[in-house]
Amino acid sequence: MLGSRSQLQSQSQSQLMISSNSHDQDQEEEIPRPPTAFHLRQLLVTCADLISQSDHSAAKRLLSILSSNSSPFGDSSTERLAHQFVRALSLRLDRHGNTTSSTPAAPLVFNINNIVTSPPCGTNNKMLFSYESDQETLRSSYLSLNQITPFIRFSHLTANQAILEAIQVGQRAIHIIDFDIMHGVQWPPLMQALAERSNNTIHPPPMLRITGTGHDLSILHRTGDRLLKFAQSLGLRFQFHPLLLLNNDPTSLALYLPSAITLLPGEALAVNCVLHLHRFLKDDSRELLLFFHKIKALNPKVVTVAEREANHNHPLFLHRFLEALDHYTALFDSLEATLPPNSRERLAVEQIWFGREIMDIVAAEGEGRRERHQRFEIWEMMLKSVGFRKFPLSPFAISQAKLLLRLHYPSEGYQLQILNNSFFLGWQNHSLFSVSSWH
C-alpha cells in the first residue's frame, strides 16, 4: 500500500524545501532546491494515487509542484520523464475529473505539430509544443527511434532471420503479411538477404509479395513504391499490396482476413507482428484469440511477434501507472546514457513518440486506449492456446543479435537475455522488449 495520502503529500511538499542560515545568522529562510529522482518518482506516484481516489483538488496542488520541477529540456532523464507524466496526469484530471460513470470520456485523439527543439525564453515548463495532425513529424520521430535505440532494429533483424530460416532455400514464392508496415524499414535488409542467398546457390531469387496493413492509404502507397524500387535494384521480382485498416477491431479484421489474403500455389506465408498486436487488445482477449485462429488457418510457415515487456493493460489505473513509470524510466535512462545532452533526435523521441504513448496509457480509458502492452507470458499463452508452437532459435540468430548490439549499440547497459527460445532486450536489469517466432 502507498501509505496515508495526506502523510505522503505532506512529506512530499516539505521535502522540497531546505533550511539555510543567513549571513547574520539571526534568521533562517527556506531555499527551494530541485528534488531528487527518487523524490520526483514519489511525487508522481502520490499524485496518481490522489487521482485514483478522486481527490482532485489535492492532485492539482501536487501537479503544480511537479510542473515547476520538471521540464522536457531538463538536465536529467528524470526531469524530462516527469514532464511527460505530468502532462498525462493533467489531461487525465481534465478528462475524468468532471466525468460521471454514466458519461464516458471521448476517445483520446493525438495530434502532433511544431516540436520545440530549444526552450523558449521565459518558459515556465508548461506544454511547449502543440498537438495537431502531422504524419511527417510522427514519421521523423519513428525513424529517430529506429536510429538511436536498438529496440526496433533488433526486432526487425530477429524477425527477418526467423523468416529466412523458416522458408527453405529454393522456395519459388514468398508472401509476407506485415501488420502495420508503417514505412517498411524492416524489409530492405530481408530483400538483400534473399538476393545474396540466391547468388550462392543454383536457385533463382524467389518472387516476394508483401501485404502491408496501415491506416493511411497514401503512406501505404509511398511505402510500396520505395520497396518496389529497392527490390528492382536487387533484381528481385516484387509486388506490394496495401491493406487499409479502418480501425483496430480484430473481429472485423478476422472476418475479412481470409478473403483479403490470396496465396498463390507454392507460395510460403510469413506473418509479421512487430509492436502491433497490443493495439488489438481490449478489456478481454476473446477477439484477439479469434484473430489468431484465422492466422493459424492460413497455415503460415512462421509468425514473428515483437512486443513491449510491460503490463499496460491492467484494468486498474494506479497499477497501470506504476508499470508505465517503471517501463519508461528505463527507456529514458537508456537514452540519457547513450546520447549527448543536446541530441535533437532524443528530444523528438522523448516528447513525441514516448510522450504520445505515456499520454495514452495514463490519460485514456476504455475504448480510447490503444497502448495496451502485455508481458510475454500473456502472448505465449494466447498463441499456444490456438495451436502455435515456438520456433527454435538458431545459433546464428543468437550470434547475429549479439553482434548488432556490440557493433551499433556498444553500451554495456543494454542487456540481452535468451529464455525458452525467445529474446528479451532491456536496459540494465529491466526487460523492455520481447521477440519470438511461432509456427
Dump pLDDT digits (tens) for 331-355. 999 999 999 988 999 999 999 999 9
β-strands 207-214, 173-178: how paired? parallel
Inter-residue contact 280 to 144 (CB < 8 Å)? no
- Please say if the pLDDT value at position 11 is more than 90: no
- Helix intervals (H) in 97-126: none
For residue 95, the model assigns a pLDDT of 81
Which one, of 190, 159, 176, 194, lies nearest residue 267 by Cα? 176
57-65 contacts, C-beta under 8 A, 24 or more apart: 58/5, 58/9, 59/89, 59/93, 60/93, 62/9, 62/12, 62/13, 63/89, 63/90, 63/93, 65/12, 65/13, 65/16
pLDDT tens-place string over residues 99-149: 433 334 444 444 444 344 434 333 333 333 333 346 778 888 889 999 999
The residue type of 70 is S
The alpha carbons of the chain give a radius of gyration, in whole angstroms, of 24
pLDDT tens-place string over residues 59-69: 999 999 999 99
pLDDT tens-place string over residues 95-108: 876 543 333 444 44
Exposure b/e, 73-94, CB count within 10 A at least 16 = b = bbebbbbbbbbbbbbbbbbbbe
Percent of the chain with pLDDT strictly greater than 70: 80
pLDDT tens-place string over residues 287-346: 889 889 989 999 999 999 999 999 999 999 999 999 999 999 999 999 999 999 889 999
Domains of the chain, start order: 5-99+108-119+128-139+314-368 (no CATH), 149-309+373-438 (3.40.50)
pLDDT tens-place string over residues 219-243: 999 999 999 999 999 999 999 999 8
- Please say if the pLDDT value at position 169 is more than 50: yes
* Whole-angstrom distance, CA of residue 332 vs CA of residue 81: 7
DSSP 168-235: -TT-SEEEEEETT-TT-TTHHHHHHHHHHHHHTSSSPPPEEEEEEEES-HHHHHHHHHHHHHHHHHHT
Mean pLDDT of 234-255: 78
For residue 261, the model assigns a pLDDT of 79
For residue 99, the model assigns a pLDDT of 45
pTM: 0.84
pLDDT-wise least confident of 98-112, 352-366, 417-431 = 98-112
Residue 255: band (very low, low, confident or very high) from pLDDT cuts 50, 70, 90: low
* Whole-angstrom distance, CA of residue 351 vs CA of residue 84: 7
Which one, of 423, 177, 433, lies nearest residue 307 by Cα? 433
For residue 42, the model assigns a pLDDT of 94
Three cell numbers written together for 350: 522523448
- Please say if the pLDDT value at position 15 is more than 90: no
